[in-house]
Structure 1
Amino acid sequence: MLTVSGHYEVYMKTMEQIMAGNLDYIPIMPKVNPWGAALGIAILMMLIMMKVGFTIYCMNICHFRNAGLGNLFDGFAIFFKSLWLHILMFAFVYLWSLLLIVPGIIAAYRYRMALYIMLDNPQLSAMECIRASKEMMDGRKGELFVLDLSFLGWYLLAAFPFVTIWVTPYTSVTYTNYYIALRDMPVSEYDLQI
C-alpha cells in the first residue's frame, strides 16, 4: 500500500528492520567512518597538548621566566600524563553531571587547578593532582566563579575573532596568577579561609 508520496513502504521497511534488531539499517544513524573518528581523536589530543603548552607559556610569563612560542609544544613532553589528567577530569565532571548540571559545574571548578598543580609538581600522579586541586579549591569555588563572571563581557566580545587574540591570553594569565596566589598563600591563612 502506497501513499501519495510513496513513503509508507520505506517507513514500514525501516520499522521492520528496527524491530528485528538491525540497527545498521536506520537511515538516521549513519555508519561512522573509522578514519574520520581517528582523525578527530588525534586532533583532540593535539589540541589538549597545545592547551597544556599554552598553560606552560602563561606560567612562564607569570614567573618572569623566558617564554616563547616554543612553549606551545612543551605539552608534548608530558603527553601521556597530561592526557590521562584530562581524561580523568572529564570523566569525573561527566559523572557528576549525570546527577544534575549543578554538581557537574561544581566538580569542574573543583578540578580546575589540577593542570597547574601537575605543571608545578611533575612528580605527582594525575590522581594526586586532582586531589590537590580539590583541597586547594575547597572554599574557593565561589571566588573563581566570580572571577569567571568578571570576564563575561570579554567573552561576549570574543565573538569577533580579532578580540579573541587579546582576550584569551588576558584571561589565561589571570587564571594562572589566581593559581599562583592560591599556591603561595601561607597554610595558616589558607586554613582560616576555609
Structure 2
Amino acid sequence: MYIDRRRLKEEAKSVLQGASVSPIAITALYLAICLGLDTLDSVVSGGAVAVLSGAGMLPTFITIFVYLVELVLGMGLTVYCLGVRHSVHMELSTLFDGFSFVGKIILLFLLEGVFISLWSMLFFFPGIVAMYRYRFAFYNLCEDPSLSAFDALNMSKRQTMGYKLSLLTLDFSFIGWGFLMTLPYTVVNSMILNDVALPLSLPVLTVICGVLSGLVALWVRPYLITTNLGYFELAKASSGVGRGFGGADPLGGGSGEPWDSDTL
C-alpha cells in the first residue's frame, strides 16, 4: 500500500509545532527521568552496590525495574503525541498517564515478546513479520486503555495488513537518527566488551552518554512517534478497526498479505 511518507513527516512536524505544551519540554522530562534510572542501574550493575550488599539478584531486579518504568513512561509520551495529533491540550503530567494502566502495559509487552519469540523460532523472517504485525498494539492501548492486551494485539494484526513494508521503509528512513542516538552507548559498550580501560567510571559515562543521546532524542523522539501515529491513523481508517472505526470487533473480516492469516 502506497503511503506518502514525506507528507506524513511534514504533517508530524507541523502538529508538534502547534502543541500548547512543547514536545521538547516533555521529552526532556522523559529523558531526564530515564537518565536518572539508567545511572542508578549502572551504579548497581557496576559492582559497587552489588558487592557491598552481597545480593546477586539486586542488579537484575534493578535492571528489570528500570526497563519497565521506562516502558511505561514511553507510553505516556505516546499518549501525549496522540493528544497533540487530535489538537488536545496535553500537560507535562501526561508523561505519567501510563501508570494508570501499568498492568496492561506490562502484560502487552510480555505477550508481544512471547509471540514474536515463537515466530522467530520458526525462522528469522517470520519473527520480523510478527514484530511489524503487532506494531500498533501499544498505540491501541494508549488510545483506549479499557482494551485488553489481547484485543490490542488482535486489532494491530488487522490494522497492519498491507502496511508492513511501508512501516519497514519508515524505519529505514529514521535509521540515521537512530544511529546518532545510540552511538555514545555503542562506543562505551564496545570498550567494555573489548576490555578497554574506561576513562571514567561507568555511572559518569552513563550520564555523558545520556546527555549526548538526549540532545538528538529531544527532537527526534516525539517526531518519530508522531509520524508513526500518522501511519496508525491511516491503518485504522483503511482497515475499519480501532477507536472510532468499529474497534469492538478486532477479529472481523478483512484481507491483507498472505502471511497475515496466522492465529497469534
TM-score bucket (shorter structure):
0.7 to 0.9
Distance (Å, rounded) in 2 between the aligned partners of 1:72 and 1:35: 27
Q: 1:129, CA displacement in angstroms?
A: 1.0
Q: Which amino acid aligns with 1:103?
A: P
1:142-190 per-position Cα deviation (integer Å, ceiling 9, x unaligned): 1111111221232233345222221111111101121122223474xxx
The DSSP-based 3-state class of the residue aligned with 1:182 is helix
Cα shift at 1:93: 0.9
> 1:1-194 residue pairs with structure 2 within 5 A?
33-158=56-181, 159=183, 161=213, 162-185=215-238, 187=240
Q: Which stretch has the larger CA shift, 167-176 or 106-115?
A: 167-176
What is the TM-score when the length of structure 2 is the normalising length? Answer: 0.56
Cα gap change, 1:87 to 1:193, in 2 (>3 Å) = closer
Cα deviations by residue, 1:11-69 (Å, 9 ceiling, x for unpaired): xxxxxxxxxxxxxxxxxxxx981122221221121111111111111111111111232
Q: Please list every run of at least 4 consecutive aligned residues from structure 1 whose deviation after the TM superposition is greater than 4 angstroms.
A: 191-194
Distance in 2 (CA, whole Å) between partners of 1:128 and 1:192 is: 18
Question: Per the alignment, in what secondary structure is the counterpart of residue 184 of structure 1?
Answer: helix
Name the larger-Rg structure: 1
- Equivalent position SS for 1:67: coil
Structure 1: give runs of 5+ residues left out of the alignment.
1-30
Aligned equivalents of 2:176, 2:144: Cα separation in 1: 34
Separation of aligned partners in 1, 2:90 and 2:238: 25
Q: Distance in 2 between matches of 1:83 and 1:77?
A: 12
TM-score normalised according to structure 1 size:
0.75
- Letter of the 1:180 partner, please give it: E
User: Residues 152 and 36 (structure 1 numbering): CA distance in 2 closer, same or farther, change over 3 Å?
Assistant: closer
Partner Cα distance (1:117, 1:87) in 2: 16
Following TM superposition, by how much is the alpha carbon of 1:112 offset from its aligned partner in structure 2, in angstroms? 0.6
In the alignment, structure 2 segments of 5+ residues that lack a partner are 1-53, 184-211, 241-253, 258-264
Instruction: Confirm or deny: 8 A CA contact 2:133 2:157 kept in the other structure.
Output: yes
